[in-house]
A and B are shown apart, each in its own frame.
Chain A
Amino acid sequence: MGKLFRAIGMFRRLLTMTAVIALTLFSALPGVQAAPPEGKDVLVYSWNSNMGEFNPHLYSPNQMFSQNLIYEPLVRYQADGMVAPCLAQSWSVSTDGREYTFKLRQDVRFTDGRPFNAEAVKRNIDAVLQNHQRHEWLELTNQLWKAKESGKAPATVVDEYTVRLTLHDPYYPALQELALIRPARFLSPAAMPEDGNTAKGIKEPVGTGPWKLVEAVKSEYALLERNEGYWGDKAKSKYLLIKIIPDTNARVVAFETGQIDIIYGGAGHGAGQIGLDSFERYRTMPGVVTDVSAPLATRALALNTKRFPTDDIDVRRAILLAVDRDALVKHVFLDVERKADTLFSPTMPYCDLGLKPYGFDRNEAEALLEKAGWTLADGARYRTKDGKELALDLCFAGNDTLMKSVAEVVQGDLRKVGVKVNLVGEEKDSNLARQRSGEFGMIFGNTWGAPYDPHSFVSSMRVPSHADYQAQLGLPMKADIDKAIGEVLISVDETRRRELYQYILSTLHDQAVYMPLTYMTNIMVHRDTLEGAHFGATKNEIPLETMYKR
C-alpha cells in the first residue's frame, strides 16, 4: 500500500507543481495596456524596427522615414531632380557660389508653439557642426565646417526670417544635400539639450512637420498625431500608427487581417517590406491596389578593371553582352523592378545622355572573347588563353536570397559563353570589406538613389574605400575621371557641369565597368478604400500625410 500512496503522492505533487507554475505565470500576465486608437481616422503602417528617439541630427537607430514625418528641410527634393521651397520660401546664391541666403516662411511654428525663424536654423546648423565628424560623409557639412575653420560663420542670422549659410568652396549640390532627411533638419531649440549638443540626445522630438509624436512603445508601435498647426496641407488622417513588425511574412498576414492599411517601401529580401512573390500575388488580388514607383536607385554589378581577367575591356564587354537581363528581370525580379541600361536612370539629373545600352547578344560576346584570344577547346566547358582559364569571382552577401539568385543566373549565362564564375557568398560585413579592399572580380553595388545620385555617388568613386574606386582602378583614364568628378562638384557653370557629367558617365559606360541590372523602386500595396496614396520623391520619404481611409 505504501508504494501506491507514494505513487499517488508523486503524481499529485507533479500536478501541484504544474498548477503553481501556471498560476504564477497567469499572475504575471501583462496588464492590458492602453491600446492605441483604432478606426477610420487612424492610418496604420508598419516598419521592421523601432523608430529610435526621433533625433533629427543622428543616424541609426533613428529611422529616416520617421524623421521625415516630424522634421522638415529648408528645401525639398522633387521627383524631377530639382529642389523646391519648403521651410525656405526662396533663396539666392552669391556669384562666387559660396553663400546661400534663405528667406524663411514666416507662418511656421514648431509643435511646441515656438516660432521657426533664422535663429532656430542657426541653432540647428551649429548643433550639426558640433559633431561634424559624424557627418563627414556628407560634403555639405564638410564645406560648412571648413568655412568655420577658416574663420567664417557657417550660419548667420541676417534678420528674423533670413539666414545665410557660408560654404568653403562653391559646392553646387549644397541645395540637394540640404533636402536630405538628415542631418540638416530642424528641431525646436527648446527641445535641444542645454549645451546644444543634440548628439548626446534631445529632450523631445519637436519639429515643424505634418505629424507630432504621441508615444512610442518599444518593439510594439509608435503613435503620431496630426499637427493641427501645420503651415502646409494638413495630414488627412488624425492619427498615424506605425506598428513594429520585423518579419516580411508577418507583414503580409497583418495586411490580410486588416491590422495594417498600407505596405510601402522596397520589396524583396533584406530591408524589403514584403517579398517579391507576395507583391506579385497582390497584383491580381481583387480589392487591393498595387503600384511601383519610378526608378529610385540602380542595382548593378561592378567589374574589377584591375584584376585578371576583367582587366581586359573585351572581356568586360563580352560579360555585359552575355547576360540576359530581360530574363533576369522577368524571372528573378518578377517584373517588379525594371531593367537598367545605364548606371544611373536617365531620369536622374544630368543623366539623360542617350548612351547606347549593352543588349543581350551571345554571339557578339563569343566573338569578342575569340578576338581577345580566349578560345574554347573541343569538349571544354570554359575558355582558356596561354594556359589560363577564363574564371572570375562574383562576390555577394550570402544571406541575401535575391543577390544569390541574380548571381546564379549570371553564372549560368556566362557559362554558356565559356566564362567560369565562382560564386563567393559571404557574410554581409565581409562582403563590404571586400568592396573596400578590391578583392573581387565582380561585386554587387547599388547606387544611393535620389537625391544622392549622381553627385554624391560619383564623388565617392574617388574614395579608395569604395567598390567603385577599386573597380575603376585599372582604367587608363582613372585620374582624368577623378579630376572631372572633383571639378563637377564645385563647378558653378551649368554647361560645364553637363559636359563633365557626360564625360564621366559615358566613359564608365564605354569602358564597361558596370553591369546595370535593374532600377530599384518602391512598391505600394493597399486596399481600394485607402485614398491619397502616392510615391515620395526619394526612397525614404513616405507621404503618409496625404493618405486616408474612405
Chain B
Amino acid sequence: MTRYILKRLLLLIPILLAVSLVVFTILRLGHGDPAMAYLRLSSIPPTDQALEAARHELGLDKPFAVQYATWLGKAAHGDFGISYVTKRPVLEEILYYLPNTLILAGYSLALTLVLSLPLGMISALKKDRLPDHLTRGLSFFGVSMPNFFLGFVLIWVFSIKLGWLPPMGRGGAAHMILPILTMSCMSLCINTRLIRSTMLDNMHSRYVLYARARGLSESSVVGRHVLTNSLIPVITAIGMHAGELFGGAVIAESIFAWPGLGRYAVSAIYNRDYPVMQCFILIMTTIFVLMNLAVDIGYAWLDPRIRLQGDKQ
C-alpha cells in the first residue's frame, strides 16, 4: 500500500506539469488582455502608452515560451508570482482563502455522508411507503433546486423572516449553517438517491433471492448482503461530491459573503488575473488527485477484499 501511495504521489508531478502547460496556453489563447483589464479596474483610459506600460509591468511583452519558463522556474520554488490585481504574492493570497473554503466544503461533505446514509437506507427499506415517498420527493426537489436559489430561499426564511441565523460573513458556527446547507443540498440528495437505488438493485439480485430461498431472515439478508454491496459506490461518489462542493463553494461564498477561495478565483477569472488562475487550477488539481487517492485508500480500508495495485506487484 505504501508503494502504491508513493507511486500515486509521484504521478502528481507530471500531471501538474501537463496541467500547468495546458492552462498557461489556454489562458493566453483568449482574446482578452489582462493589461486592458488592469487599466479598466484602475479607471485609467487604455491609451497605447498606458497599455504598453501595463504589459511591460506585468511581463506580458515577453515571448510565450519565456513567460512559461520564467513562471515554471519560480513555481518550482514555490513562487507563483504576484497577482495582477491585488499586487500581492499569489500563493500567500490563496493560502489565506483556501482554509475557509476547505472548512465549508469539508463540513458539507460530512453533512452529506451523515444524512444521506440513513435517508437512503430508510428509503430503500420502506420502498413505496410514506418514508420512501417523502425522501424521494425531498431528493427530487433538492436536486432540482439551483444552489444560488436555495441560498436565497434559506436566507429569506432563516435570516429575514425568522431572524435566527446571520445571512452573511464569517464569525461563529452560526454563520456557517446556511452556506453549508446550501452547498451540501445537491450532493446530499444525489447520494441519498444513489444509496437507495444501489440497495434496491442489490435487493433484487439473484444472490439475495437465493439467500431468501435459503430461509434467511429479512434483517440478515439486508445486513449481510445488501448493505455490504451497497456501500462501495458511496465511496466512489464521495470523490465526485468533493468536486461538486468546490464548485458549489463559488456560489455559496458570493451569496453569503464568505471570504473563500472560490470567490477569490471568480474575481481573478473576471479580471484575467493569470497568475492567480494558474495557481488556483494547480491547487485544485492537487486536491482532486489527493481526493481520488484517499477514495482508493478508503476502498481498501472499508473492504479488505480490495487490494491496491502496489501491493500486488
Report which A residues bind B (CB closer than 8 A): 3-4, 6-8, 10-11, 13-15, 17-18, 21-22, 24-25, 28-30, 32-33, 35, 49-50, 52, 59-61, 64, 133-134, 136-137, 218-220, 243-247, 249-250, 253-254, 256-257, 259, 426-430, 432-433, 436, 460, 463-466
User: CB distance A11 to B32 under 8 Å?
Assistant: no
Give the interface of B toward A (CB within 8 A): 30-33, 36-38, 40-51, 53, 85-87, 96-97, 99-100, 102-103, 106-107, 109-110, 113-114, 117, 152, 155, 159-160, 163, 166-173, 220, 223-225, 227-228, 231, 234, 254-257, 259, 263-264, 267, 272, 298, 301-303
| Among B48, B110, B155, B166, contact of A21 (Cβ-Cβ < 8 Å) | B110
> Given A7-B227, A64-B43, does the pair A30, B50 have CB atoms closer than 8 Å?
no
8 Å CB contact of A250 from B36, B168, B303: B168
Q: Which residue in chain B gives the minimum CB-CB distance to A435?
A: B46
Contacts of A464 on B, CB cut-off 8 Å?
48
Within the complex, the shortest CB–CB distance from A293 to chain B, in Å, comes to: 18
Known: A253-B159, A465-B46. A18 touches B114 (CB 8 A): yes
A253 and B160 form a contact (CB under 8 A): yes
Would A247 and B254 count as touching, CB distance under 8 A? yes
Given contacts A259-B167, A430-B31, A465-B46, contact A133 B53 (CB under 8 A): yes
Q: Which of B46, B87, B166 contacts A61 (CB 8 A)?
A: B87
**9 A-B interface contacts by CB (under 8 A):** A21-B113, A22-B107, A28-B99, A32-B172, A59-B44, A257-B159, A259-B167, A430-B31, A465-B45
Partner of A35, one of B99, B155, B171, B220: B171
Name the residue of chain A whose CB is nearest to the CB of B170.
Answer: A220
Chain A residues with CB under 8 Å of B103's CB are: 25, 28-30
**B49 and A245 contact, CB distance less than 8 A:** no
Kindly list chain A residues whose C-beta atoms are within 8 Å of the C-beta of B109: 21
Residues of chain A with a CB closer than 8 A to B106's CB: 21, 24-25, 28
Q: How far apart sit A52 and B85, CA to CA, in the bound complex (Å)?
A: 10
Q: Which residues of A contact B100 (CB under 8 A)?
A: 30
Docked CA distance A344–B302 (Å): 72
Q: A59-B41, A465-B47 are known; give 14 further A-B pairs, CB within 8 A.
A: A10-B227, A14-B234, A30-B103, A32-B172, A136-B47, A244-B257, A246-B267, A254-B168, A259-B167, A429-B31, A429-B32, A429-B33, A429-B37, A460-B45
**Contact with B47, one of A137, A219, A426 (Cβ below 8 angstroms):** A137
Tell me the smallest distance from the CB of B233 to a CB of chain A, in Å.
Answer: 12
Q: Is the beta-carbon distance between B42 and A59 smaller than 8 angstroms?
A: yes
> Is A10 a contact partner of B40 (Cβ separation < 8 A)?
no
Rounded to whole angstroms, the CA-CA distance of A426 and B33 in the bound complex is 14
CA distance A385 to B38 in the complex (A): 44
Chain B contact residues: helix, strand, loop or mixed: helix
In the complex, the chain B residue whose C-beta lies closest to that of A131 is B53
A352 and B23 alpha carbons, distance in the complex (Å): 53
Q: Are A11 and B227 in contact (CB under 8 A)?
A: yes
Kindly report which residue of chain A lies nearest to residue B113, judged by CB atoms.
A18
Instruction: Among A3, A52, A249, point to the contact of B86 (Cβ < 8 A).
Output: A52
| Whole-angstrom CA separation of A253 from B165 in the bound complex | 12
Which of B85, B168, B223 has most A Cβ within 10 Å?
B168
Q: How far is the CB of A242 from chain B (nearest CB, A)?
A: 12
State the 8 A-B residue pairs at the shortest beta-carbon distance, nearest first: A59-B42, A219-B259, A429-B32, A60-B41, A60-B42, A7-B228, A25-B106, A22-B110
- Are B169 and A243 in contact (CB-based, < 8 A)? yes
> What's the Cα separation between A70 and B107 when bound, in Å?
40
B205: min CB distance to chain A, Å: 14
Q: Which of A21, A60, A254 has the most CB of B within 10 A?
A: A60
CA distance A400 to B80 in the complex (A): 32
B28 to chain A, nearest CB (A): 13
Query: Which residues of chain A have C-beta atoms less than 8 A from B228's C-beta?
Result: 3, 6-7, 10
CB distance from B89 to the nearest CB of A (A): 13
Residues from chain B with Cβ under 8 Å of A61 in the complex? 41, 85-87
CB neighbours of A11 from chain B (8 A): 227, 231
Using Cβ atoms and an 8 Å threshold, which residues of chain A touch B46? 432, 436, 465
Q: Determine the residue in chain B with the shortest Cβ distance to A254.
A: B168
Q: A11-B231, A246-B257 are in contact. Are A137 and B168 (CB under 8 A)?
A: no
CA distance A8 to B42 in the complex (A): 62
CB distance from A66 to the nearest CB of B (A): 14
Is A433 in contact with B224, judged by CB distance below 8 angstroms?
A: no
Query: How distant is B6 from chain A, measured CB to nearest CB, in Å?
Result: 22
* Residue numbers in B under 8 Å from A432 (CB-CB): 36, 40, 46
B275 to chain A, nearest CB (A): 14
Inter-subunit contact B44/A246 (CB<8 Å): no
CB pair A433–B36 under 8 Å, yes or no, is yes
Most A CB atoms within 10 A — which of B43, B96, B163, B263?
B43
Chain A hits for B301, CB < 8 A: 13, 17
Q: Roughly how many angstroms separate A137 CA and B46 CA in the complex, as a whole number?
A: 8
Residue on A nearest B44 in the bound complex, by CB: A137
Whole-angstrom distance from the CB of B277 to the nearest CB of chain A?
14
In the assembly, what is the distance between CA of A257 and CA of B168, in Å?
10
| A426 to B, closest residue via Cβ | B31
Contact residues in A for B166 (Cβ distance below 8 Å): 257, 259
Chain A residue at minimal CB-CB distance from B112: A18
- Selected contact of B263 from candidates A3, A33, A219, A253, CB within 8 Å: A219
Residues of A within 8 A of B254 (CB): 246-247, 250
Give the Cβ gap from B146 to chain A, nearest Cβ, in Å.
Answer: 13
Complex interface: chain B residues within 8 A of A463 (CB): 45, 47
B51: nearest residue on chain A (CB-CB)? A465
Q: How far is the CB of B61 from chain A (nearest CB, A)?
A: 14
B145 → chain A, closest Cβ, in Å?
Answer: 16
A53 — nearest CB in chain B belongs to which residue?
B87
- Bound-state CA distance A40–B298 (Å) is 53
A1 to chain B, nearest CB (A): 9
Given contacts A60-B41, A243-B257, contact A219 B168 (CB under 8 A): no
Query: Given A4-B220, A60-B41, A465-B46, is A14 in contact with B86 using a C-beta cutoff of 8 Å?
Result: no
Residues from chain B with a CB closer than 8 A to the CB of A429 are 31-33, 36-37, 40, 272
> How far, in whole Å, are A136 and B160 apart by their CA atoms in the complex?
49
Min CB gap B93→A, angstroms: 8
Q: Is the CB of A22 within 8 A of B114?
A: yes
Taking CB atoms, residues of chain B closer than 8 Å to A25 are 103, 106-107, 110
**Chain B residues, CB < 8 A from A134:** 53
Shortest distance between the CB of A452 and any CB in chain B (Å)? 9
